[in-house]
Every structure is written in C-alpha cells, then in structure tokens.
Structure 1
Amino acid sequence: MRALCWHGKKDVRVDNVPDPVIEHPRDAIVKVSSCAICGSDLHLFDGFMPSMKSGDILGHEFMGEVVEVGPGNSRLKIGDRVVVPFTIACGECDQCRRGFYSVCERSNRNKEMADKAFGHTTAGLFGYSHLTGGYPGGQAEYVRVPFADVTPVKVPDSLTDEQVLFLGDILPTGWQAAVQCEIEPTDTVVVWGAGPVGQFAIRSAIVLGAKQVVVIDRVPERLAMAVQAGAIAINFDDESVLERLKELTNGKGPEKCIDAVGMESHATRSFDSLYDRAKQAVMLETDRPHVLREMMYVCRPAGVLSIPGVYGGLIDKIPFGAAMNKGLTFRMGQTHVNRWTDDLLKRIQEGQIDPSVVITHTVPLEKGPEMYRVFRDKEDGCVKVVLKP
C-alpha cells in the first residue's frame, strides 16, 4: 500500500509499504477514506519529537471502512464506517475506566521507554514516535487498529467524511480545552493560536457561554476565520497583546487562557522568543514556551490555563513564582477523545457544530509531502489539509 513515511527532519515521502495484518484478536483493519495533517505532525516534520525512525508511517487523524475484524472483536463488522481516535485505549485499565483515555495504562507497547521518559507511561498514539508505541499512522491506504472493540467511533452514512473526520482529534481537543476551563458566563476566554485546534477551542468556548472570546495569531486568513465564528482578533505583529487584553478586560486580565500553539511558538519580536530559539539551536532546550510565559503573565489571579498544545521535552525560564502567587490552575494533556465523541457527534448531527469549516485544502495522498511544507509555512491560506488515499 501507499503511505506517507518519515525519513528525517523535513523529509516526508510517499512509500510503498506492506499492508497491515491482524495481529491480535481485538484488532481491525480500516481502509482509509480520509486523513489529515495535524499541527502536531509538524513537530515530527520539524524534527522536534524524539524516538522517530526512518520509514515510520505518519498521521493520527483518519477514518474509513472496516475491511477485516479480529476474532475477538464483536463490536465491529466488515463495512462499518468509523472515525479512529488518535489515542489508543484498552477500555479496561484504571485510567480508561475513569475516562482518562489518553493515559491508558496498557496501549503503549513501548511502556518501558515511556516510563523512563515520563515517570509513567501514557497511551499509545497512532503515527507519533516510538515513545508512544511506534504504531503505524493513518496517512496511508490501510491501518491496523488495536483495541478496535473500544477505540473506533461508528458514524452514520448521512454525514460526510468532512463533517466527522475531526472527531478523531482536533474537534474533541478544542472542546476539551474549553471544557477544562470551566467557563462561566462572565468569563473572557483567550485562545493563543488560530490554527485548527484554536478554531475549535474558540467555537467551543462560545458554545459553552463565554462572555467574550479573544484569539491571538498573526495569519490573516486564520484570524478572519476566528472573527467569523465570533471571536475578537489580536494580530501580535500589529499591536501589543498585553495592552489589548488590558483594554478588553478593564485591566483585570482574562479569567481563562488556552494555549493552542505548543512547543513551536512563532513569536519573533520578544526577547524571550529569541532566547528560546538560540537555546533550541544548540540543543539546550527542546520547546519554545513563549505562549506559556505570556499566559502566566496576563491571566487574572485565580484563573485557569488550559494547554492542549503539545510540548515534547524541556522548557526554560518559566515564571512559576508568578503562577503560584497568582493562584493559577493548570489543566493540560493529550485529549481523552472517547470521553467527548458521543456528545460531539450529536452536536454535528444537530448542526450546532460544522467541523468542515476549517478545511482549506483537499488533495490526493501523493501530494502529502508538498502539503506538509505548505501547512507548516502557512502558504496559500492553508488552515487544514485533508488527504484522500
């Protein structure tokens, strides 16, 4: 089959690789109808995530048709149409039973590696390094899905791929980011980053009743999309984020702050961003945490910082004293996708949420390597890329 494979920093290729096979009775094989490039994939493309190996199949946002089912899987049948969450969950461990699917205790087949890196393992993830299991990803014609009697979400034929594809990652990620803010009707919610996750965090905060939602970015097309959804836009290249947020909150600061950027903050004019880039260049720091510092500084005392943006390693010069003395609450982590999918699928069916709004480019799988670059460099108005194997 054809698949997008990682061969090193900024080196993604379309390779012919062996078709996946059933390896465990609970497995299923899915023929991919649609997949997508996620902002998190760019961390792999740019070489910031450890434990990647040449030839690894990329991608963790995908859906399709079940074409083979293991003998121990009674939940799925051949022909079922499914979206597959990026977090692989066994459904039986203590964490899964509590609804914390992204920290499943059993699905990471490289558990010992993750235990050493993190103290305790997190869940296995599709197409996202050997630290999270080394599972082949979904930017391919076929995918083996482990624990397929738990993880996949069945979707009706009445909805298009474009309406439901993002149930596997960015829609529940944006939703969880907003939910864990515990939004009150008097709250100002600020979202750093107007990419796909930021777009869904904005829409989720509005649905959940925030007084006002503010978005910070510098890409005109992304800011325009956020404004169309009802957000107030701040272009950090054109105005001071600190001064504008003071103005919007009567000097008190926002109650809730969401980091939808993560480890590759693109701020360029501040001293701390230059510091991060210098340390990163000589491997003294892995991530660029400008957004985290800014959120900790501007957030109103007793506020909440919600962090769906991915961080991979070590960060420096974090004003933790400010966060402690202001009494800030941090909520973060990979998304517990299956906790939210039933509710979000219903909201899509009722027309409350239209996930397809973020799609700007739909191309064949063969154009994937080119679109990685276009998406990273935000060319051609690119917000979200869908690939068709």
Structure 2
Amino acid sequence: MKALCWHGKKDVRCETVADPRIEEPRDAIVKVTSCAICGSDLHLFDGFMPGMREGDILGHEFMGEVVEVGPGNKKLEVGDRVVVPFTICCGECDQCRRGNWSVCERSNRNKSLAEKVFGHTTAGLFGYTHLTGGYPGGQAEYVRVPYADVAPVKVPAGLTDEQVLFLGDILPTGWQAAVQCEIEPTDTVAVWGAGPVGQFAVRSALMLGARQVVAIDRLPDRLSMAAACGALTINFEEESVLERLAELTGGKGPEKCIDAVGLEAHVPRSLDSLYDRAKQALMWESDRAHVLREMIYACRPAGILSIPGVYGGVVDKIPFGAVMNKGLTIRTGQTHVNRWAEDLLRRIEEEQIDPSFVVTHTVALEDGPQMYETFRDKHDGCIKVVLKPGVSSRATFDERPRP
C-alpha cells in the first residue's frame, strides 16, 4: 500500500509499505477514504517531537471503511463506515472507565519510555512518536486499528467524509478546549491561534454561550474565517494583544483563555521571541512558550486557561507567580475524543455545525509531502488539508467556498 512516511526533519515521502494485518482479536483493518494533515503533524515534520524513527507512517486524523475484523471484535462489521479517534483506548482500564480516554493505561505499547519522560504513561496515539506507542498512522491506504471495538465512531448514511472526518481529532479538541473553560453567558473567551483547532474552539465557545469570543492570529485568511462566525479578531502583528484585550473587556481581561497554538508559537520579533528561539536552537528548551506567558498576563484573576495546543517537553520563564497570585486554573491534555463524539455527531446531523468549512485544500495522498510544506508555511491560504488515498494526483477536486 501507499503511505506517507517520516524520514527525518522536513523529510516526508510517499512510499510503498507492507499492508497492515490483524494482530489481535479486537483489531480491525480500515480502508482509508479520507485523512488530514494536522498541526500536530507539523511538530514531527519540523523535528520538535522526540521519539520518531525513520520510516514511521504518519497521520492520526482519518476515516474509512472496515474491510476486516478480528474474531474478538463484536462492535464492527465489514462494510461499516467509521471515523477513528486519534487516541487508542482499551475501554477497560481505570482511566477509560472514568472517560479519560487519552490517558488509557494499556494502549501505549512503550509505557516504560513514556513513564521516563512524563512520569506516567499516556494512551497510544496513531502516527505519532514512539513515546505514544509508535503505531502506524492514517496517512495511508489502510490502517490497523487496535481495540477497534471501543473507539471507532460509526458514521450514519448521508454525511460526507468532510462533515465527519474531524470528529477524530480537531473538532472534539476545540470543543473540549471550550468545555474546560466552564463558559458563562457574561464571559469573554480569547483564543490564541486561528488554525483548525482554533477555528473549532471559537465556534465551540460561541455555541456554549460566550458573550464574545476573540480570535488572535497574524494571517488574514484565518482571521476572516473566524470573523465569519461572529468572532472579534486581533492581528498580533498590527496591534498589541494585551492592550486590545483590555479595551474589549473594560480593562479587566478575558475570563477564559485558550491556547490553540502549542510549542511552535510565532510572535513578532521581541526579547521574548528571541529568547525562546535562541534557547530552542541551543536545545536548552524544547517548546516556545510565548502564548502561555501572554495568556497568563492577559487572563482576568480567577479565570481559566485551557490548553489544547500540543507541548512536548520543557518550557522556560513561565510566570507562575502570576498564575498563583491571580488564582488561575489551568486545564490541558490530549483530547478525550469519545467523551464528546456522540454529542458532536448529533450536532452535525442537526446542522448546528458543518465542520467541512475549515477545508481549504483537498489533494491525493501522494501529493501529501508537498502539502506538508504548503500547510506549514501557510501558502495559498492553506488552513486545512484533506488527503484522498487511492486517488491519482492528477485528479481535480471541487473548490470549496472560503469564508
């Protein structure tokens, strides 16, 4: 089969690899009909996440048709159309029983490595580092899905791939980020980063009843997409984020702040920015923490910081005294996809939200390596890329209207 494989920093290749096979009784094999490039994949592409090995198959946002089922799997049948959450969960451990799917205690087959880095194991993840199990990912024609009687979400007839694909990651990630904020009708919610997760966090905050939502970014295409649903916007290259947020909140600051950026924050040249880039280059810190610092200073006392943005290691110069003295609450974590998937699928069916709005580029799987660069560099107004396995790179796709 064809798959996108990691061969080092900025080196992704479309290669022929062995087809997956059933290895455990609860497995399923899924023929991928659509997959996507996620911002988290860029952390691998840019070499910021440890634990990658040459030839690893990338991708954790995918869906398709079940073509083979293990003898112990009573949930799925051949022919079922499913979205596969990026977190692999057993459904039986203490954390799964509590609904904390992203910290499943069994699915990470490299538990000892994860424990050394994080203190405790996390769940296994598709197409990510060997810290999270080293499972082959979904940017491929076929995928083996372990514990496939637990996480996969069956797709009702009548919904397109683009409407439901993002149930596997970025839609519930944006939703969880907003839910963690405990939004009240009087709240201002500020969202740093208007990429795909930020777009869903903005819409989720509005759906949950925030008085006003502010999207912070530097790219006009992203800001206009956020504004299309009623968000206010701040271009951080044109005005001070802290000053504008103070103006919008009567000097008090937003009650709730969401970091939808993570470890590769882009900021205007400043001492803060130069400090992070210098320490990262010298390997004295792994993650650029500008957004975290700015949120801490911006947030109103007794507010909540919600962090869906991915961080992989060590950050520096975090003003934790401000966190403590302002009484801020911090909530973060990989997404518990199955905690939210059923409700979000209902909202899609009821047309409360159509997640396909975020798609700007649809290409064949074999064009994926070039699209990694386009997505990373934000060329051609690129916000979200969908890849189609089994389709020729010469195929043309209908252009979606862009907000």
Scaled by the length of structure 2, the TM-score of the pair is: 0.96
1:246 matched to 2:274: no
Offset, 1:268:
2.8
Which residue does the alignment assign to 1:190? 190
Q: Confirm or deny: 8 A CA contact 2:190 2:254 kept in the other structure.
A: yes
Q: Aligned-pair distance for 1:270?
A: 2.3
Whole-angstrom CA distance in 2 between matches of 1:331 and 1:283: 27
In structure 2, the residue matched to 1:128 is 128
Kept in 1, the 8 Å contact 2:237–2:268? The answer is no
Query: Structure 1 CA distance, aligned partners of 2:55 and 2:185?
Result: 49
Structure 1 runs of 4+ aligned residues shifted over 4 Å read none
Q: Shift of the alpha carbon at 1:100? A: 0.2
Partner of 1:222: 222
Superposition deviation, residue 157 in structure 1 = 2.0
CA distance in 2, matches of 1:330, 1:136: 32
Amino acid in structure 2 at the alignment position of 1:305: L
Instruction: Identify the range of structure 1 (339-348 vs 150-159) with the bigger mean alpha-carbon deviation.
Output: 150-159
Per-residue deviation, 1:75: 0.6
In the TM superposition, residue 269 of structure 1 has moved relative to its aligned partner by 2.1
User: What is the CA–CA distance in structure 1 between the aligned matches of 2:358 and 2:86, rounded to whole Å?
Assistant: 19
Residues 78-87 or 270-279, more deviating = 270-279
Q: Distance in 1 between matches of 2:13 and 2:167?
A: 26
Q: Distance in 2 between matches of 1:150 and 1:80?
A: 14
Q: In the alignment, which residue of structure 1 is the partner of 2:400? A: none
Match of 1:77 in 2: 77
Q: Compute the RMSD of aligned alpha carbons.
A: 0.4
Asked whether 1:321 is paired with 2:321, we answer: yes
5+ residue gaps, structure 1 = none
How many correspondences in the alignment?
Answer: 389
Q: Secondary structure at the match of 2:102?
A: helix
After superposition, residues 275-314 of structure 1 pair within 5 angstroms as 275-314=275-314
Distance 2:171 2:80 in 1: 22
Q: Is the 8 A contact 2:190 2:213 kept in 1?
A: yes
| Equivalent position SS for 2:334 | coil
Alignment check: 8 A CA contact 1:63 1:82 kept: yes
Which secondary structure does the structure 2 equivalent of 1:194 belong to?
Answer: coil
Q: Which residue of 2 aligns with 1:384?
A: 384
Q: Output the amino acid matched with 2:221.
A: E
| Structure 1 counterpart of 2:172 | 172
What corresponds to 1:201 in structure 2? 201
Give the 3-state SS of the residue equivalent to 2:380 in structure 1: coil
**Equivalent residue for 2:401?**
none
Question: What 5-or-longer segments of structure 2 have no aligned partner?
Answer: 390-403
Paired AA for residue 323 in structure 1: V
Q: Name the counterpart of 1:159.
A: 159
Letter in 1 for 2:164: V
Cross-structure match for 2:39: 39
Quote the Cα distance in structure 2 between the aligned partners of 1:139 and 1:304.
35
- In structure 2, what is the Cα distance between the partners aligned to 1:363 and 1:14? 13
Question: Match of 1:66?
Answer: 66
2:360 corresponds in structure 1 to 360
* Per-residue deviation, residues 353-374 of structure 1 (Å, max 9, x unmatched): 1100000000000110000000
Q: How big is the shift at 1:151?
A: 1.1
Using the alignment, how far apart are the partners of 2:157 and 2:113 within structure 1?
40
Separation (CA, whole Å) in 1 of partners of 2:224 and 2:302: 31
Distance in 2 (CA, whole Å) between partners of 1:229 and 1:59 is 29
Q: Deviations over 1:190-245 (max 9, x none)?
A: 00000000000000000000000001000000000000011000000001111100
Q: Is the aligned partner of 1:91 residue 2:91? A: yes
Residue 373 of structure 1: aligned partner: 373
Tell me the equivalent position of 2:347.
Answer: 347
1:192·1:260 contact (CA, 8 Å) conserved in 2?
yes
Aligned to 1:229, the other structure's residue is in SS state: coil
Are the aligned partners of 1:35 and 1:165 in contact in 2 as well (CA < 8 Å)? yes
Q: In structure 2, what is the Cα distance between the partners aligned to 1:146 and 1:333? A: 22
CA contact 1:268–1:274 (8 Å) conserved in 2: no
Distance 1:6 1:242 in 2: 39
Tell me the alpha carbon deviations over residues 156-200 of structure 1, each in whole angstroms, 9 at most, x when there is no partner: 121000000000000000000000000000000000000000000
Maintained 8 Å contact 1:234/1:241:
yes
* Matches of 1:272 and 1:218, distance apart in 2: 17
Secondary structure of 1:134's counterpart equals coil
Q: Work out whether residues 24 and 146 of structure 2, in 8 Å CA contact, stay in contact via their aligned partners in 1.
A: yes
| 1:260 counterpart residue number | 260
Per-residue CA deviation, residues 234-281 of structure 1 (Å, 9 max, x unaligned), is 000001111100100000000000000000000132211110000001
In structure 2, C-alpha distance between the alignment counterparts of 1:377 and 1:195, rounded to whole Å: 12
CA–CA distance in structure 2, aligned partners of residues 101 and 230 of structure 1: 32
Aligned residue number for residue 13 of structure 1: 13
- The answer to whether the 8 A contact 1:254-1:299 is kept is yes
Matched, 1:145 2:148: no
* Code of the aligned partner of 2:246: K
Moved more, 269-278 or 135-144: 269-278
Is the 8 Å Cα contact of residues 304 and 329 (structure 2) preserved in structure 1?
yes
**For residues 230 and 108 of structure 1, what CA distance do their matches in structure 2 show?**
40
Secondary structure of residue in 2 paired with 1:309 = coil
TM superposition score normalised by structure 1: 1.00
* Alpha-carbon separation, structure 2, partners of 1:270 and 1:322: 21
Q: Secondary structure at the match of 1:214?
A: strand
Question: Do the aligned partners of 1:61 and 1:138 also contact (CA within 8 Å) in 2?
Answer: yes
Partner of 2:395: none
| Deviation readout 1:1-53 (Å, 9 max, x if unpaired) | 00000000000000100000000000000000000000000000000000100
1:136: how far off?
0.1
- How many Å separate the matches in 2 of 1:67 and 1:221? 39
**Amino acid paired to 1:131:** L
